[in-house]
Amino acid sequence: MRNLPLLSLPLLSLTVASALALGACTVGPNYAGPPRTLSDGGAGTGFRRAGPTALATAPGVAAWWTELNDATLTDLEARALAANPNIAVAQARLHQARASLRLERANGAPSANASATYLHARLPGIDLGGATGSGSGGAASGSGGSSSGASASAVDFYNVGFDASWEIDLFGGRRRSVEAARAQAEAAEADVADAQVSLTAEVAQAYVNLRDRQRRIGLSQQSARMQQQMLALTQQRFDRGAASALDVERLRGQVEATNGQIVPLQAELESYLDALAVLTGQEPGALDALLAPAAPVPLPPAQVAVGDPAALLQRRPDIRAAERQLAQRTARIGVADAARFPRLNLLGLIGLGGTQLSDISPDKLTAIAAPMLQWNFLDFGRNRARLNQAEAQRDEAEAQYRGTVLRALQDAEDSLSRFGHRRETVASLARSKASADRAAALMQQRFRAGTATLIDTLDAERQRVAADQNLSAGIAGLTGDFVSLQKALGLGWSAPAPS
């Protein structure tokens, strides 16, 4: 086997130059941004359901829960963001997407392999005397060495080889793959932010419900004690003949009903304790000691910055993730389109070797350099079908983006409406509570003056406690609506870096 000559440098240079010139061509549509989803009346204007307490200024994208001024809640949010498994899952997927992007970039670079081979063969019935040989790229044949008898020959072969290949990106398929991988990594980054939004809102909502249950349990226990006193007094009056058995049974039923309300409240309280522990990445019961002391439900600020719908589209992570998925699907069209055209590979091969170890020397060099053009022009429509499939997937991603935007706008408008009307409800409950307080105070004055019975006084006090319970539930609902509004606005994440 003789050494093969190198491909002539002028021809090789011409091939590379032609490949680079063709490589400037990139098939497939260029991504021009997401479709328009806001009407002329919605772009740049405020939300339609924003009330007088909603500010049109852009909200901050930092820790919105600090506006509730609750140190325990702030601590729980920090623990959840640091240890929640769902955040770890989203971050792991982000790392996978970034690794895929690095892989796609590396796939566009040349690849090289090195090999070293030693072969010893005993070939019966073959006389290889006098033959010489050398190898290239890890494969060759040779003769020599030692022989045993006339019926067998032993062959030793030594070879060191190096080969390289590089696919020229003639029609931009590789560039489109990198573009798609980059968009997928950015979508994964938005998914991490979306997981943070959902987590912080879930922690805040569970904490508000926990404090509400603690407050309602305390008020229910207070109401049960008052009803128990009323029952004891009515029983005494019945024993003296001044009250009927119906009055006694009616009050006894009220006491049992109130005690029955405490049991499910206690079960809900324990459920929220366990939920907060799991959300912060701990075992159920780990936060019981920290959260056992009762505390009031945190109140939202008097005014809330909400911005405008146009800013919402850039702020909500789920919208950004849907937009990046649309960009990724658009790039995949170019990948499928490039597969319909020829492919050019540059191959290089260098080998040193022979039948003796001393043959591994520069004077035994075998080198090959060759371009290889491949074109699967007769595929019976397979590549066209793949292109149509990619285009349909792009259309699906565009429809999903539109749907995500519309749902986000509806979510924001509904949250603003609920938050505004809940303020009105809480104001009404506060007036009812103030009226019940005044009625209970007047009844106390009448009791001390001897013009009202103790039962009447206790009944007025029970109504005051009931009004306090309703107000507490209303405040919890208001804070819960504030949390839902922050989630709808997509807050609780760090602002993305400009593209």
pLDDT along the chain (499 residues), means of 10: 42 50 71 77 55 55 84 94 93 93 88 83 65 42 44 76 83 89 93 92 95 92 84 86 82 83 91 95 94 92 79 85 94 90 85 75 78 83 90 94 92 89 92 92 85 80 87 93 90 58
> 304 forms bridges with which residues in the sheet?
54
Q: Which residues lie closer than 8 Å to 111 by C-beta, 6 or more apart? A: 164, 165, 166
pTM for the model: 0.79
Helix (H, G, I), strand (E, B) or coil at 152: strand
What is residue 286's predicted lDDT score, i.e. its pLDDT? 94
| Residue written as token pair 């019975």 | 453
Domains of the chain (ranges plus CATH)? 31-111+170-341+385-488 (1.20.1600.10)
Say how many C-beta atoms besides its own lie within 10 A of residue 274's C-beta. Answer: 17
- How many Cα atoms sit within 13 Å of 347 on the Cβ side? 11
The dihedral built from the CA positions of residue 12, 13, 16 and 17, taken in this order, carries a sign that is negative
The Cα 434–Cα 439 span in angstroms is: 9
The dihedral built from the CA positions of residue 202, 203, 208 and 211, taken in this order, carries a sign that is positive
The dihedral built from the CA positions of residue 10, 18, 373 and 353, taken in this order, carries a sign that is positive
Q: Residues, the chain, total?
A: 499
- Farthest CA pair distance, the chain: 137
